Structure 1
Amino acid sequence: MTGPADTLSLARTLDRCTVLGPGVRAVVWVQGCPLRCKGCVAAETLPFEGGTPVAVPELAAHLAALTDVEGVTLSGGEPFAQAEALAALLDAVRERRPGFSAMAYSGFRHEALRRGTPAQQALLDRLDLLVDGPYVATRHAPLRWRGSANQRLLALTDRYAALVAQIADEDDTSAGVEVSMGADGSFSWAGVPPVPGFRETLEARLEARGFVPRTDRTQKGRRTP
């Protein structure tokens, strides 16, 4: 499940996002997941084949240069399947920007990751926030940054502890999704859908309007002539 510590296999990246964690964040989707959650909203990221190899120093330099974002959210795929390289990535970014925050999604429970490999424990130690647990379609719920009621939002440092407490007490509602359009007619979206079947419904409606959705790692669609 793991690759070289100096290379990541990526599904895609997004420089700025406001629906996958606090504030404005970059997002990194890794390629490959050992789990097969029914209803996974990013099924194209599950195979370990097909990702784009990216050198850790290259990606670290890119993230550090995004001065208008406060951190990165790691998703996928399963980030803890490439834990060693992601821990190295966070270290490299923080050499340039010590206050850069880190959040991750994992299909594994926090307790299991604490008993995991040294690399998994190292990545966990570098996170400020963790959303843990597999997506369970029968427990779908419109929660903040989570898709099903079994998933937890855990503050692993003090940085977002007050925010997590506030969300739990007052405002545990969906952050929604963001959709963007490119000049060439392509579109992409990011976020945790508040309703089940969001992706299937969106793609069916787009197809009916002349868009042909692509399910490769770019998660983009293109309008037909």
Structure 2
Amino acid sequence: MTPRLSVARKLDHCTVLGPGTRAVLWVQGCPLRCRGCVAAETLPFAGGTPYTVTELADWLCALPDSEGVTFSGGEPFAQAAGLAALLDAVRQRRPDFGAMAYSGFRYETLSEGAPDQRALLRRLDLLVDGPYVAARHAGLRWRGSANQRILALTDRYAHIPSQPDVSAGVEVSMEPDGSLSWAGVPPTPGFREGLETQLAARGFVLHTQARREA
């Protein structure tokens, strides 16, 4: 039976959470509790919106300008079977579709983990691994703290780790209902709290679409 996925958020186009322009899927639920997590609302396993693999594959395949997808959360490897099945379904129609994921677990742990975790690893081009450590916060490319690594798992993005390691920043966009959303890895600590305070003072409602820094 194909697993269903519990999704916290999804974004059609993003340029600050991986190479090029790509979709982002934040899963709901994480077994880790990294202090300072920038997307704490994605940590509980309760909540989220259930999707079938087919529904999500249809969504991704309908985004012709996206070169791939980034999985964040939450903890993607807590829903590894569903995400692996999703990549298989997408690549049946788009064989060149790229895949990147964040994980609070180290690569070495995942590579010796459950079969579904190893299956997801085999389908990824890039992995950002390791927990977010607030004391080591740094403005790095796609990562929140200096202990986290960008690992090229295929030749597709083999050049990425050697590129300048500077923050990709964040993207803020206006939603059709007049609210704001943002995505990215804040280069400075306290970004979310400061942004929410300033926007609330101006009457804006903020929908968080940032990745978990863990």
What TM-score does the superposition give when structure 2 sets the normalisation length?
0.95
1:123 aligns with 2:123: no
Asked if the contact 1:130/1:156 (under 8 Å) is kept, the reply is yes
What does the per-residue CA deviation read over 1:143-201, in whole Å, with 9 as the maximum and x for residues that have no partner? 00000000000000011112222x2xxx1000000000123211100000000010000
**Whole-Å separation in 1 of the counterparts to 2:109 and 2:54:** 29
CA distance in 2, matches of 1:113, 1:53: 25
Paired residue secondary structure (2:159) = helix
Output the CA distance in 2 between the equivalents of 1:135 and 1:49. Answer: 22
* Residues 1:50 and 2:47 aligned together: yes
What letter corresponds to residue 58 of structure 2 in structure 1?
A
Question: Cα distance, 1:67 vs. partner?
Answer: 0.8
Alignment of 1:4-153 (within 5 A): 5-153=2-150
Query: How far does residue 212 in structure 1 lie from its aligned partner after superposition?
Result: 4.1
Contact 1:74 1:105 in 2 (8 A): yes
Letter in structure 2 aligned against 1:49: A
Equivalent residue letter for 1:108: F
Q: Relative contact order (alpha carbons < 8 A, sep ≥ 6): 1 or 2 greater?
A: 2
Deviation for aligned residue 1:121: 0.2
Structure 1 residue ranges without an equivalent (≥5): 221-225
Q: Which residue of 2 aligns with 1:201?
A: 194
1:156 maps onto 2:149 in alignment: no
Kindly tell me the number of residue pairs found equivalent between the two proteins. Answer: 209
Distance (whole Å) between structure 2 residues aligned to residue 197 and residue 20 of structure 1: 19
Structure 2 SS opposite 1:161:
coil
Runs of at least 4 residues off by over 3 Å: none
Specify the alignment match of 1:219 in structure 2.
208
SS for the counterpart of 1:150 is coil
On the 8 A contact 1:21/1:103 being kept in 2, the answer is yes
Which residue matches 2:169?
A: 176
- The alignment partner of 1:29 has SS state of strand
State the SS of the aligned residue for 1:179.
strand
What is the percent sequence identity of the aligned residues? 74
Is there any run of 5+ residues in structure 2 with no aligned partner, and where? 210-214
Q: Deviations over 1:83-119 (max 9, x none)?
A: 0000000000000000000000000000000010000
- Bigger radius of gyration: 1
2:179/2:205 contact within 8 Å kept: no
One-letter amino acid of the counterpart of residue 172, structure 1: D
What is the deviation of 1:65? 1.6
User: TM-score when scaled to structure 1?
Assistant: 0.90
What amino acid is the match of 2:110? L
The amino acid that maps onto 1:50 is: G
Cα contact 1:6–1:57 (8 A) shared by 2: no
The alignment's C-alpha RMSD in Å is 1.1
Distance 2:28 2:124 in 1: 20
